[in-house]
Amino acid sequence: MMLRGERMEEPFKSYFWKRFWFLLIPIYIVAVINEPFITNNDFSEWEDYLAFFFFLLFYFIGYAFISALIIHMLWRFRTGRNKR
């Protein structure tokens, strides 16, 4: 017998992963293209390469968090309407 919480986890996982990459990739690309530090980097020293990878990683983590937050809020709004 499944508990109430267990039934909700699997649909949320599939809902989340179906939408996460479709939301993250366009937001990430727009953010990276519009960042002048990344696009105007001349790569003349090792510090430039490391700064480039740092910004890519920093943007990825930040926008992954924002994407996950948006999807989680949409899930809560969706399940909140179904309960009423």
Q: What is the pTM of this model?
A: 0.74
What single-letter DSSP state applies at residue 40?
T
pLDDT for 1: 44
Q: Residue 43: which region, alpha, beta or left (left: phi > 0; alpha: psi -120 to 50)? A: left
Residue ranges per structural domain of the chain: 19-78
pLDDT, average across residues 68-74: 95
Task: Give the least confident one: 8-12, 35-39, 51-55.
Answer: 8-12
